[in-house]
Amino acid sequence: MLDKIFGSGLPEVPEPEPQKLFDREQTSTLTIETSRGPVEVAISTFSAMTGWRIERSAKDYFSDSIEKMMAFSDAVLAHASNGGTPLNSEAARNELLERWQNVSAVFEAVLEHNGIDLSLHHVMRDDLAAFSAKIAQGIIMYQDAVMKPLIEEMNKKGGTAQ
């Protein structure tokens, strides 16, 4: 490619391979222990828009609403399967995973496989930015309220205030 621009005197540099981190067909496997022995759970990659929606709704996991938290958890766990059967219902999860610790392990594995950071500081970034903006706005309003009478008084006495 560079030789087209600069001539053929430069060494040939190979084009990089496309990144396959989020190949739709990519899966990973998690082995969990159950009363039936080890069980393999396949973890699939989110489609682009599913990943976007899940990443953007991650704060629902920390919600006071059990319905929002469970809806988020259901959306994540639906991307795990065993023998081609998705874990997209509570009954399927109870049957295969047996213990809440296994549910938690699968949940974390699906998020990690798909590059979703569920740490509170990451999830709440938009809320923190909005909160910070409101604090700044309040400070400016307070400053204006305190300074306005002083500026008016200075202007009455012939001083200059901008």
Instruction: Look at residue 148 and give its three-state secondary structure.
Output: helix
- Residue 139 in any domain: the answer is yes
131 and 60 within one domain: no
130 and 102 within one domain: no
160 and 115 within one domain: no
Q: Is the pLDDT of residue 37 over 50?
A: yes
Residue 86: strand pairing partners: 81
- Residue 115 in any domain: the answer is yes
Domain holding 152, by residue range, is: 124-162
82 and 42 within one domain: yes
- Residue 137 in any domain: the answer is yes
State in Å, rounded, how far the first CA of the chain is from the last one: 59
The CATH number given to whatever domain includes residue 102 is: 3.30.2220
143 and 160 within one domain: yes
Render pLDDT for 53-78 as a digit per residue (tens, 0 to 9). 998 888 888 878 899 889 999 999 99
- Judging by beta carbons within 10 Å of its beta carbon (0-12, 13-18, 19+), is residue 143 exposed, middle or buried? exposed
130 and 88 within one domain: no
pLDDT for the residue numbered 143: 81
Strands 85-86 and 80-82: antiparallel
Render pLDDT for 124-155 as a digit per residue (tens, 0 to 9). 666 666 777 778 787 888 787 778 888 888 88
Residue 136: strand pairing partners: none
Residue 12 near residue 3, CB atoms below 8 Å: yes
Global pTM reads: 0.62
72 and 142 within one domain: no
Counted domains in the chain: 2
Q: What are phi and psi of 35, to 5 degrees?
A: -65, -20
Give which of 92, 102, 95 is closest to 31, Cα–Cα: 102
